[in-house]
Amino acid sequence: MLRTADYSAAGSAFKKGGSLPNPTSDRTVDLTPTTRMNHTRAGRRLKGTASCALLAGLFCAGLWPFGAADNRVKWNGPGAGVSFVSPAAIISAEPLRILPSSPTSLCTVQLLVTPHYATGKATIFAVYDVARPEFLSIQQSGPDLLVARERTNPHDLVRPAKLYVDDVFHQRVPVLLTIASEGHGINVLLDQKVIIHSNRVSLSCDDLQGTVVLGTSPVDDASWEGQLRQVAISQTSISGERVPAVPDGSTSGTEQALAIYNFREGSGNVVRSSVPGGPVLNIPSRYTILNKTVLTPPSLDNSEDILVNIFGFVPFGLLVMSFLSDTAGPGSAAGCTFLLGAAVSLAIELAQVHLSVRSSDLTDVITNCLGTLIGLGLCSLRPVANCLNAVAVRIETLVTRTGEVSRVSG
Protein backbone atom coordinates (compact mmCIF):
# COMPACT_ATOMS: atom_id res chain seq x y z
CA MET A 1 0.00 0.00 0.00
CA LEU A 2 1.32 3.46 -0.90
CA ARG A 3 1.95 5.90 1.94
CA THR A 4 1.44 9.66 1.94
CA ALA A 5 5.20 10.06 1.70
CA ASP A 6 5.15 8.03 -1.50
CA TYR A 7 2.59 10.39 -3.03
CA SER A 8 4.58 13.45 -1.95
CA ALA A 9 7.76 12.02 -3.41
CA ALA A 10 5.94 11.16 -6.62
CA GLY A 11 4.54 14.67 -6.84
CA SER A 12 7.99 16.19 -6.32
CA ALA A 13 9.54 13.87 -8.89
CA PHE A 14 6.80 14.74 -11.33
CA LYS A 15 7.47 18.47 -10.99
CA LYS A 16 11.28 18.14 -11.16
CA GLY A 17 11.34 15.82 -14.16
CA GLY A 18 12.71 12.80 -12.27
CA SER A 19 11.58 9.20 -12.28
CA LEU A 20 8.13 8.19 -11.16
CA PRO A 21 7.67 4.78 -9.47
CA ASN A 22 5.61 2.40 -11.59
CA PRO A 23 2.72 1.14 -9.42
CA THR A 24 2.55 -2.16 -11.35
CA SER A 25 6.21 -3.15 -11.19
CA ASP A 26 9.60 -2.41 -9.61
CA ARG A 27 10.60 -0.34 -12.64
CA THR A 28 10.29 3.39 -12.89
CA VAL A 29 8.67 5.58 -15.51
CA ASP A 30 11.19 8.06 -16.94
CA LEU A 31 9.70 11.54 -17.05
CA THR A 32 11.38 13.17 -20.05
CA PRO A 33 10.16 16.70 -20.93
CA THR A 34 7.73 15.32 -23.53
CA THR A 35 6.48 12.61 -21.16
CA ARG A 36 6.19 15.12 -18.33
CA MET A 37 4.10 17.43 -20.54
CA ASN A 38 1.83 14.56 -21.50
CA HIS A 39 1.40 13.63 -17.85
CA THR A 40 0.68 17.26 -16.99
CA ARG A 41 -2.10 17.39 -19.57
CA ALA A 42 -3.41 14.02 -18.50
CA GLY A 43 -3.45 14.99 -14.83
CA ARG A 44 -5.18 18.27 -15.61
CA ARG A 45 -7.75 16.46 -17.75
CA LEU A 46 -8.38 13.95 -14.98
CA LYS A 47 -8.84 16.67 -12.33
CA GLY A 48 -11.11 18.61 -14.68
CA THR A 49 -13.26 15.53 -15.28
CA ALA A 50 -13.45 14.86 -11.53
CA SER A 51 -14.44 18.50 -10.87
CA CYS A 52 -17.23 18.35 -13.46
CA ALA A 53 -18.50 15.06 -12.03
CA LEU A 54 -18.52 16.53 -8.53
CA LEU A 55 -20.32 19.63 -9.79
CA ALA A 56 -23.02 17.48 -11.37
CA GLY A 57 -23.31 15.53 -8.12
CA LEU A 58 -23.80 18.72 -6.11
CA PHE A 59 -26.59 19.89 -8.41
CA CYS A 60 -28.29 16.50 -8.22
CA ALA A 61 -28.05 16.42 -4.43
CA GLY A 62 -29.30 19.98 -4.09
CA LEU A 63 -32.24 19.68 -6.47
CA TRP A 64 -33.43 16.13 -5.82
CA PRO A 65 -36.29 15.28 -6.24
CA PHE A 66 -36.49 17.24 -9.49
CA GLY A 67 -40.26 17.28 -9.95
CA ALA A 68 -43.22 18.22 -7.76
CA ALA A 69 -43.79 15.87 -4.82
CA ASP A 70 -47.06 14.08 -4.12
CA ASN A 71 -49.15 15.55 -1.33
CA ARG A 72 -49.24 12.79 1.29
CA VAL A 73 -52.44 13.60 3.16
CA LYS A 74 -54.30 10.38 4.00
CA TRP A 75 -57.85 9.97 5.27
CA ASN A 76 -58.27 7.88 8.42
CA GLY A 77 -61.97 7.28 7.79
CA PRO A 78 -65.19 9.31 8.25
CA GLY A 79 -64.87 11.52 11.33
CA ALA A 80 -61.46 10.04 12.17
CA GLY A 81 -59.48 12.93 10.73
CA VAL A 82 -56.54 12.91 8.36
CA SER A 83 -52.89 11.88 8.63
CA PHE A 84 -50.03 14.07 7.44
CA VAL A 85 -46.95 12.20 6.21
CA SER A 86 -44.23 14.56 5.01
CA PRO A 87 -44.60 16.26 2.62
CA ALA A 88 -48.26 17.12 3.20
CA ALA A 89 -50.48 20.21 3.25
CA ILE A 90 -54.11 21.33 3.25
CA ILE A 91 -54.92 24.85 2.01
CA SER A 92 -58.21 26.75 2.10
CA ALA A 93 -59.76 27.55 -1.27
CA GLU A 94 -60.52 31.12 -0.18
CA PRO A 95 -59.54 33.34 2.76
CA LEU A 96 -61.21 33.00 6.14
CA ARG A 97 -63.23 36.11 7.02
CA ILE A 98 -64.25 37.27 10.49
CA LEU A 99 -67.68 38.53 11.51
CA PRO A 100 -68.25 42.28 11.96
CA SER A 101 -66.74 43.00 15.36
CA SER A 102 -65.58 45.66 17.76
CA PRO A 103 -61.89 46.36 18.47
CA THR A 104 -62.22 44.42 21.75
CA SER A 105 -63.46 41.19 20.16
CA LEU A 106 -61.45 38.10 21.06
CA CYS A 107 -60.84 34.82 19.26
CA THR A 108 -59.84 31.18 19.71
CA VAL A 109 -58.11 28.46 17.67
CA GLN A 110 -58.57 24.85 18.73
CA LEU A 111 -56.77 21.79 17.31
CA LEU A 112 -57.16 18.11 18.16
CA VAL A 113 -53.84 16.58 17.10
CA THR A 114 -51.79 13.42 17.53
CA PRO A 115 -48.12 13.92 16.58
CA HIS A 116 -46.35 10.96 14.99
CA TYR A 117 -43.04 12.05 16.52
CA ALA A 118 -41.85 14.32 19.33
CA THR A 119 -38.83 15.55 17.35
CA GLY A 120 -38.13 18.13 14.66
CA LYS A 121 -39.73 21.49 13.96
CA ALA A 122 -42.82 21.83 11.77
CA THR A 123 -45.94 23.95 11.30
CA ILE A 124 -49.36 22.53 12.21
CA PHE A 125 -51.60 25.56 11.59
CA ALA A 126 -51.20 28.99 10.03
CA VAL A 127 -53.37 31.80 8.68
CA TYR A 128 -51.61 33.77 5.96
CA ASP A 129 -52.39 37.06 4.24
CA VAL A 130 -49.64 38.48 2.04
CA ALA A 131 -50.99 42.01 2.62
CA ARG A 132 -50.36 41.81 6.37
CA PRO A 133 -46.87 42.20 7.90
CA GLU A 134 -47.30 39.17 10.19
CA PHE A 135 -49.19 35.89 10.27
CA LEU A 136 -50.21 33.49 13.03
CA SER A 137 -48.34 30.19 13.17
CA ILE A 138 -48.81 27.24 15.55
CA GLN A 139 -45.87 24.85 15.42
CA GLN A 140 -44.40 21.73 16.97
CA SER A 141 -40.76 22.11 18.02
CA GLY A 142 -39.73 18.68 19.29
CA PRO A 143 -41.92 18.03 22.35
CA ASP A 144 -42.65 21.76 22.75
CA LEU A 145 -45.39 24.00 21.42
CA LEU A 146 -44.40 27.17 19.56
CA VAL A 147 -46.92 29.96 18.97
CA ALA A 148 -45.45 32.67 16.75
CA ARG A 149 -46.33 35.79 14.84
CA GLU A 150 -44.10 35.13 11.83
CA ARG A 151 -43.06 37.90 9.47
CA THR A 152 -44.77 37.76 6.08
CA ASN A 153 -41.48 38.98 4.62
CA PRO A 154 -38.75 37.00 6.44
CA HIS A 155 -36.15 39.55 5.34
CA ASP A 156 -37.66 42.18 7.65
CA LEU A 157 -35.29 43.08 10.45
CA VAL A 158 -38.09 42.92 13.05
CA ARG A 159 -37.81 39.77 15.14
CA PRO A 160 -41.05 37.74 15.27
CA ALA A 161 -42.84 37.35 18.58
CA LYS A 162 -42.64 33.76 19.85
CA LEU A 163 -43.93 31.76 22.80
CA TYR A 164 -42.58 28.31 23.66
CA VAL A 165 -44.56 25.98 25.91
CA ASP A 166 -42.56 23.01 27.18
CA ASP A 167 -43.49 19.34 26.99
CA VAL A 168 -46.80 19.56 25.15
CA PHE A 169 -46.39 16.87 22.48
CA HIS A 170 -45.73 13.18 23.00
CA GLN A 171 -45.40 10.55 20.29
CA ARG A 172 -48.76 9.04 19.28
CA VAL A 173 -50.56 10.76 22.21
CA PRO A 174 -53.59 12.91 21.24
CA VAL A 175 -53.84 16.40 22.70
CA LEU A 176 -56.60 19.01 22.52
CA LEU A 177 -54.73 22.26 21.98
CA THR A 178 -56.40 25.65 22.35
CA ILE A 179 -54.93 29.12 21.77
CA ALA A 180 -57.22 31.88 23.04
CA SER A 181 -56.75 35.63 23.07
CA GLU A 182 -56.94 37.13 26.54
CA GLY A 183 -56.28 40.81 27.18
CA HIS A 184 -53.02 41.80 25.48
CA GLY A 185 -51.78 38.22 25.32
CA ILE A 186 -52.98 34.64 24.95
CA ASN A 187 -54.05 31.68 27.07
CA VAL A 188 -52.76 28.25 26.11
CA LEU A 189 -54.98 25.33 27.11
CA LEU A 190 -54.24 21.62 26.96
CA ASP A 191 -57.22 19.29 27.14
CA GLN A 192 -59.41 22.27 28.15
CA LYS A 193 -57.21 23.34 31.07
CA VAL A 194 -55.29 26.63 31.09
CA ILE A 195 -51.58 25.91 31.50
CA ILE A 196 -50.08 29.30 30.70
CA HIS A 197 -50.96 32.95 30.09
CA SER A 198 -48.42 35.10 28.28
CA ASN A 199 -48.19 38.59 26.83
CA ARG A 200 -45.26 37.67 24.58
CA VAL A 201 -47.64 36.87 21.72
CA SER A 202 -50.93 38.61 21.00
CA LEU A 203 -53.90 37.26 19.05
CA SER A 204 -56.69 39.33 17.50
CA CYS A 205 -59.57 38.56 15.18
CA ASP A 206 -57.71 40.24 12.33
CA ASP A 207 -54.98 37.61 12.68
CA LEU A 208 -57.53 34.98 11.59
CA GLN A 209 -58.31 36.71 8.30
CA GLY A 210 -56.46 35.00 5.48
CA THR A 211 -55.73 31.65 3.86
CA VAL A 212 -55.78 28.71 6.27
CA VAL A 213 -52.80 26.38 5.88
CA LEU A 214 -52.61 23.03 7.69
CA GLY A 215 -49.61 20.74 7.95
CA THR A 216 -46.87 23.08 6.72
CA SER A 217 -45.74 26.70 6.62
CA PRO A 218 -47.22 29.05 3.99
CA VAL A 219 -43.74 30.43 3.21
CA ASP A 220 -41.38 27.46 3.53
CA ASP A 221 -41.19 23.68 3.60
CA ALA A 222 -41.96 22.89 7.26
CA SER A 223 -44.08 19.78 6.83
CA TRP A 224 -45.60 18.27 9.97
CA GLU A 225 -46.28 14.58 10.58
CA GLY A 226 -49.25 13.50 12.66
CA GLN A 227 -53.04 13.12 12.77
CA LEU A 228 -55.47 16.03 12.79
CA ARG A 229 -59.04 15.31 13.87
CA GLN A 230 -60.55 18.74 14.41
CA VAL A 231 -59.93 22.40 13.67
CA ALA A 232 -62.21 25.00 15.30
CA ILE A 233 -61.86 28.75 14.86
CA SER A 234 -64.05 31.02 16.99
CA GLN A 235 -64.44 34.76 17.32
CA THR A 236 -65.04 34.84 21.06
CA SER A 237 -62.50 34.01 23.71
CA ILE A 238 -62.91 31.10 26.07
CA SER A 239 -62.51 31.40 29.81
CA GLY A 240 -61.70 28.74 32.34
CA GLU A 241 -62.56 25.31 30.94
CA ARG A 242 -65.22 26.36 28.44
CA VAL A 243 -64.35 25.67 24.80
CA PRO A 244 -65.90 27.04 21.60
CA ALA A 245 -66.57 23.64 20.04
CA VAL A 246 -67.06 20.17 21.42
CA PRO A 247 -64.20 17.80 20.49
CA ASP A 248 -66.53 14.95 19.57
CA GLY A 249 -67.64 16.92 16.53
CA SER A 250 -71.02 18.24 17.71
CA THR A 251 -71.88 21.83 16.91
CA SER A 252 -73.29 23.03 20.23
CA GLY A 253 -72.38 26.61 20.92
CA THR A 254 -71.21 27.31 17.38
CA GLU A 255 -73.11 30.55 16.91
CA GLN A 256 -69.81 32.44 17.42
CA ALA A 257 -67.69 30.02 15.42
CA LEU A 258 -66.11 31.09 12.14
CA ALA A 259 -65.25 27.56 10.97
CA ILE A 260 -65.26 24.02 12.37
CA TYR A 261 -63.68 21.14 10.45
CA ASN A 262 -64.50 17.66 11.77
CA PHE A 263 -63.26 15.78 8.66
CA ARG A 264 -66.51 13.84 8.33
CA GLU A 265 -66.01 13.31 4.59
CA GLY A 266 -63.62 10.38 5.03
CA SER A 267 -62.40 10.62 1.41
CA GLY A 268 -61.90 13.00 -1.50
CA ASN A 269 -59.90 16.19 -1.80
CA VAL A 270 -62.27 18.62 -0.07
CA VAL A 271 -62.95 19.32 3.63
CA ARG A 272 -66.05 21.37 4.44
CA SER A 273 -66.82 23.41 7.52
CA SER A 274 -69.80 22.35 9.63
CA VAL A 275 -70.43 26.07 10.19
CA PRO A 276 -71.95 28.03 7.29
CA GLY A 277 -69.56 30.58 5.82
CA GLY A 278 -66.37 28.73 6.67
CA PRO A 279 -64.05 28.38 3.67
CA VAL A 280 -63.62 25.00 1.98
CA LEU A 281 -60.27 23.30 2.55
CA ASN A 282 -58.58 21.72 -0.46
CA ILE A 283 -56.23 18.73 -0.40
CA PRO A 284 -54.09 19.32 -3.53
CA SER A 285 -52.68 16.31 -5.37
CA ARG A 286 -49.21 17.89 -5.30
CA TYR A 287 -47.47 19.24 -2.22
CA THR A 288 -47.68 23.03 -2.42
CA ILE A 289 -46.11 25.96 -0.56
CA LEU A 290 -48.47 28.92 -0.71
CA ASN A 291 -45.90 31.72 -1.10
CA LYS A 292 -42.39 30.34 -0.85
CA THR A 293 -39.66 32.66 0.41
CA VAL A 294 -36.56 33.27 -1.70
CA LEU A 295 -33.36 32.93 0.36
CA THR A 296 -34.66 32.87 3.92
CA PRO A 297 -32.40 34.75 6.39
CA PRO A 298 -29.47 32.93 8.04
CA SER A 299 -30.28 30.70 10.99
CA LEU A 300 -28.39 28.30 13.27
CA ASP A 301 -31.44 26.16 14.07
CA ASN A 302 -30.29 23.06 12.16
CA SER A 303 -26.68 22.22 13.04
CA GLU A 304 -26.80 18.94 11.09
CA ASP A 305 -27.65 20.70 7.82
CA ILE A 306 -24.94 23.28 8.48
CA LEU A 307 -22.26 20.58 8.83
CA VAL A 308 -23.50 18.73 5.73
CA ASN A 309 -23.42 21.92 3.65
CA ILE A 310 -19.92 22.79 4.82
CA PHE A 311 -18.32 19.40 4.25
CA GLY A 312 -20.25 18.84 1.03
CA PHE A 313 -18.35 21.71 -0.65
CA VAL A 314 -14.88 20.94 0.77
CA PRO A 315 -14.07 18.42 -2.04
CA PHE A 316 -15.37 20.94 -4.58
CA GLY A 317 -12.98 23.64 -3.37
CA LEU A 318 -10.11 21.14 -3.20
CA LEU A 319 -10.53 19.73 -6.71
CA VAL A 320 -11.34 22.99 -8.50
CA MET A 321 -8.45 24.80 -6.81
CA SER A 322 -6.07 22.01 -7.82
CA PHE A 323 -7.37 22.08 -11.40
CA LEU A 324 -7.11 25.87 -11.79
CA SER A 325 -3.69 26.01 -10.10
CA ASP A 326 -2.21 24.13 -13.06
CA THR A 327 -2.79 27.11 -15.36
CA ALA A 328 -3.19 30.14 -13.05
CA GLY A 329 -1.41 31.71 -10.11
CA PRO A 330 -2.44 30.84 -6.54
CA GLY A 331 -4.36 34.09 -5.99
CA SER A 332 -6.29 33.91 -9.25
CA ALA A 333 -7.04 30.20 -8.76
CA ALA A 334 -8.29 30.79 -5.20
CA GLY A 335 -10.48 33.72 -6.25
CA CYS A 336 -12.01 31.86 -9.18
CA THR A 337 -12.62 28.77 -7.03
CA PHE A 338 -14.40 30.77 -4.34
CA LEU A 339 -16.54 32.68 -6.83
CA LEU A 340 -17.45 29.49 -8.65
CA GLY A 341 -18.43 27.80 -5.37
CA ALA A 342 -20.59 30.79 -4.40
CA ALA A 343 -22.22 30.87 -7.86
CA VAL A 344 -22.99 27.15 -7.79
CA SER A 345 -24.50 27.38 -4.30
CA LEU A 346 -26.57 30.46 -5.19
CA ALA A 347 -27.84 28.78 -8.38
CA ILE A 348 -28.93 25.72 -6.41
CA GLU A 349 -30.75 27.80 -3.78
CA LEU A 350 -32.56 29.91 -6.39
CA ALA A 351 -33.62 26.76 -8.25
CA GLN A 352 -34.95 25.32 -4.98
CA VAL A 353 -37.57 28.08 -4.89
CA HIS A 354 -39.44 26.11 -7.56
CA LEU A 355 -39.17 22.79 -5.65
CA SER A 356 -41.80 22.48 -2.94
CA VAL A 357 -39.84 20.03 -0.79
CA ARG A 358 -36.63 22.07 -0.76
CA SER A 359 -35.92 25.30 1.11
CA SER A 360 -34.23 28.31 -0.49
CA ASP A 361 -31.93 29.28 2.35
CA LEU A 362 -29.23 31.93 2.68
CA THR A 363 -27.64 29.81 5.43
CA ASP A 364 -26.85 27.15 2.82
CA VAL A 365 -25.08 29.69 0.59
CA ILE A 366 -22.92 30.89 3.48
CA THR A 367 -22.00 27.38 4.66
CA ASN A 368 -21.31 26.20 1.11
CA CYS A 369 -18.93 29.15 0.62
CA LEU A 370 -17.24 28.25 3.91
CA GLY A 371 -16.78 24.67 2.71
CA THR A 372 -15.29 25.95 -0.56
CA LEU A 373 -12.84 28.12 1.40
CA ILE A 374 -11.77 25.17 3.52
CA GLY A 375 -11.23 23.06 0.40
CA LEU A 376 -9.13 25.63 -1.44
CA GLY A 377 -7.20 26.31 1.75
CA LEU A 378 -6.30 22.63 2.04
CA CYS A 379 -5.21 22.58 -1.59
CA SER A 380 -2.88 25.51 -0.90
CA LEU A 381 -0.87 23.27 1.43
CA ARG A 382 2.09 21.84 -0.48
CA PRO A 383 1.77 18.23 0.84
CA VAL A 384 -1.89 18.13 -0.19
CA ALA A 385 -1.16 19.60 -3.63
CA ASN A 386 1.67 17.10 -4.18
CA CYS A 387 -0.59 14.22 -3.21
CA LEU A 388 -3.31 15.35 -5.63
CA ASN A 389 -0.83 15.72 -8.49
CA ALA A 390 0.76 12.35 -7.76
CA VAL A 391 -2.58 10.58 -7.52
CA ALA A 392 -3.72 12.12 -10.82
CA VAL A 393 -0.51 10.98 -12.54
CA ARG A 394 -0.69 7.48 -11.10
CA ILE A 395 -4.31 7.01 -12.15
CA GLU A 396 -3.55 8.28 -15.64
CA THR A 397 -0.48 6.02 -15.84
CA LEU A 398 -2.53 2.99 -14.85
CA VAL A 399 -5.20 3.84 -17.42
CA THR A 400 -2.57 4.35 -20.14
CA ARG A 401 -0.72 1.11 -19.38
CA THR A 402 -3.99 -0.81 -19.23
CA GLY A 403 -4.88 0.53 -22.67
CA GLU A 404 -1.47 -0.39 -24.05
CA VAL A 405 -1.75 -3.93 -22.69
CA SER A 406 -5.21 -4.27 -24.22
CA ARG A 407 -3.94 -3.14 -27.63
CA VAL A 408 -0.99 -5.54 -27.50
CA SER A 409 -3.24 -8.42 -26.43
CA GLY A 410 -5.63 -7.61 -29.23
Is-contact 183 213, C-beta < 8 A?
A: no
Side-chain-side CA neighbours of residue 71 (13 Å):
18
Report d(CA 144, CA 166) in Å as an integer.
5
Greatest mean pLDDT among 99-103, 181-185, 401-405: 181-185
- Average pLDDT on 327-337 reads 90
Angstrom distance (rounded) from CA 201 to CA 146: 10
pLDDT digits 0-9 by tens, 46-63: 888 888 999 999 999 999
Q: 263 pLDDT exceeds 70? A: yes
pTM: 0.79
Q: Is the peptide bond before 65 cis (omega within 30 degrees of 0)?
A: yes
- The length of the chain in residues reads 410
Q: How confident is the model at residue 162 (pLDDT cuts 50, 70, 90)?
A: very high
Averaged over 276-294, what is the pLDDT?
93
Domains of the chain plus CATH, in order, are 4-65+298-409 (no CATH), 73-282 (2.60.120.200)
> Distance between CA 328 and CA 339 in Å, rounded?
15
Asked whether residue 176 carries a pLDDT value surpassing 90, the answer given is: yes
pLDDT of residue 35 exceeding 70: no
Least confident of 255-259, 262-266, 402-406: 402-406
Higher pLDDT, 31 or 130: 130
Q: What strands lie across the sheet with 121-128, from one edge to the other?
A: 161-165, 144-151, 134-141, 121-128, 211-214, 90-92, 281-282, 270-271
Which residues touch 367 (CB under 8 Å, ≥6 apart)? 306, 309, 310, 313
Distance between CA atoms of residues 17 and 170, nearest Å: 68
Q: What is the pLDDT of residue 253?
A: 43
CB-hemisphere CA count at 13 Å for 158? 10
Helices (H) and strands (E) in the chain, counts: 6, 18
pLDDT of residue 335: 94
